[in-house]
Chains A and B, each alone.
Chain A
Amino acid sequence: MSDGVHPIASLLAAVARGITGVQVQWAGCEPIERQRIYFANHTSHLDFVVLWSALPSEIRAHTRPIAAKDYWEETPLRRYLAENVFKALLVERGAMAKAKSPEEAKFVGRMLIEDMAAALGMRNSLILFPEGTRGSGEKVGEFRAGLYHLALRRPDVELVPAYLENMNRILPKGEFFPVPMLSLLTFGKPMQVEPGEEKEAFLERAREAVSSLRRIGPA
């Protein structure tokens, strides 16, 4: 990861910025080099690239997305983009639900968190979409538990909420061609799991932190 950004990644980031004309606002923290987990609402395939391209280049080189294995391993091109270009950590969606016993589910879940913690390593940051799937853009959906467990596993890493606006109109689910509307990206105030905070309470608080950054409101 220290070998910098893949040139195709920089190119795609520039294209994504061009299409979305994204305006970035750091409303709760500064774009500095420290280990973070950026977590945002998810409505479009462009979300990750846009969020990633909004980071200063020296931070980009150490920021990896977490993406769905089933989608990104489907074709050779996607696999190449995910593994070589963006150096994504691919995770299996619904792996825990597929497990045959509660013990196995627990084990699979723990492995997932360990993978993510390993991806963080000593200096990397991650981009995570805790909804786990793309929504319609009307409201931020329920968060999966991964964010909570990862936050407990690595309490030294800052959790930064972010809200991506209009992405569902630029490239909605099921469309191939984007429409070049303007997008807004707002980074909020870093948060942590409070001592003794329950999983559900934390996830709801995190979801609230993301959706409170919305600036335009539902169309």
Chain B
Amino acid sequence: MLPALHDAKLMWLFGGVLCLLIFSTFVGDILKERHRGDSGRATIDNLNARIRAWWKMCAIFALSLLIGRIGSLVLFAIISFLALREYMTLVPTRRGDHRTLFWSFFVIMPLQYYLVGIQWYGFFAIMIPVLAFIFIPSSIAIYGDTEHFLERAAKIQFGLMVCAYCLSHAPALLLLKIPGFEGQDARLLLYLVIVDQMNDVLQYVWGKLIGKHKIAWRVSPNKTWEGFVGGTLSATALGTALWWVTPFTPPQSAGMAFTICILGFAGGLVMSAIKRDIGIKDFGVVIEGHGGILDRIDSLCFAAPIFFHLVRYYFVP
């Protein structure tokens, strides 16, 4: 029953995450107690809402990892579905895209996860970049509405790439056969998610504490150089310190963590630019304090495929 429970290193990771959650809940409470007056009130309330949401997200993710491959696969498929839904809701589409959208939600995206499930790497890797890329404009063209044709086809393709294709590389880590690491791949997925999400959190924290010089202020007014550098360095340090849960040596782990941080930052920035373009602040209101699902996973979408391929290239013979 639940072999993951006997993975001592995994349990240590869970324990670490739990401690972090308890610690941040304490900090949130203390900030709330100490703070009188209105300035910064909203920030602290938002922080506490985020911490509450983190408890729930960690619980769900931990449960899915314990269930095993199927658990992670189903969880990420659901996340993909919800993210794609937020994206498509806000990106303008036309009546003529209806059937293409139906196929995207109910055939292309589930098929992508099915291919991960049956471990058919060759098909999984080309499914959306090649097959969907041809299918989407063709099916829109058959309907016959040529208004903004290229734009509509590109928008649907982009949504599928980010929400389905890129994200599916996270659970796909579980199908990599790394010599000497059999049966421990849950930790690799957890490593990616921890480094990526902690990078988000640490960039936010460093930015709030000492942030002054804005990066790309047109795109995201909250991102600063201090937050970026502080977050990247501290999350890379964290990733390096977690080398013992991975098949990497400490220097390799540092390189991987650094790559995840840079890509996570890029993912967040790109999604912010899209939101700016559409004219909204968040993609949805599903997770309290965090905006939508897509706001939470934007960094993971860019980090997951590159991390997957780095591991596959260097560690799978």
Query: Which residues of A approach B to under 8 Å, CB–CB?
Result: 21, 23, 136, 166, 168-169, 172, 175, 177-182, 219
Contacts and interface: CB of A to CB of B under 8 A. Distances in A.
A172 B98 contact: yes
B105 A179 contact: yes
Interface string B82-120: 000110110011110011011001100000000000000
Given A23-B285, A172-B98, A175-B98, A180 B93 contact: no
B230 interface: no
A166 B285 contact: no
A180 B95 CA distance: 14
Given A179-B98, A179-B105, A169 B285 contact: no
Contacts of A181: 85, 88-89
11 contacts: A166-B89, A168-B95, A172-B98, A179-B88, A179-B102, A179-B105, A180-B105, A181-B89, A182-B85, A182-B86, A219-B94
B93 A169 contact: yes
Nearest to B88: A181
Nearest to A173: B95
Give the dominant DSSP class at B's interface: helix
A172 B85 contact: no
A219 B93 contact: yes
A166 B92 CA distance: 11
Counting chain B CB atoms within 10 Å of each CB, the highest count among A179, A182, A219 belongs to A179
Q: Is the interface of A mostly helix, strand, loop or mixed?
A: loop
Q: Kindly state the interface size class of chain B when it binds its partner.
A: 10 to 19
Contacts of B239: none
Nearest to B292: A182
A179 B159 CA distance: 15
Contacts of B98: 169, 172, 175, 179
A168 B98 CA distance: 10
B86 A172 contact: no
A172 B95 contact: yes
Contacts of A136: 95
B207 interface: no
B240 to A, nearest CB: 40
B231 interface: no
A182 B282 CA distance: 14
A216 to B, nearest CB: 9
A219 B92 contact: yes
A182 B102 contact: no
B305 interface: no
Contacts of B106: 177
B227 interface: no
Closest 10 CB pairs of A and B: A182-B89, A219-B92, A179-B101, A181-B89, A177-B102, A179-B102, A175-B98, A180-B85, A172-B95, A181-B88
B178 to A, nearest CB: 37
Contact of A182 (B94, B99, B101, B284): B284
A144 B101 CA distance: 34
Nearest to B104: A179
A172 B97 CA distance: 11
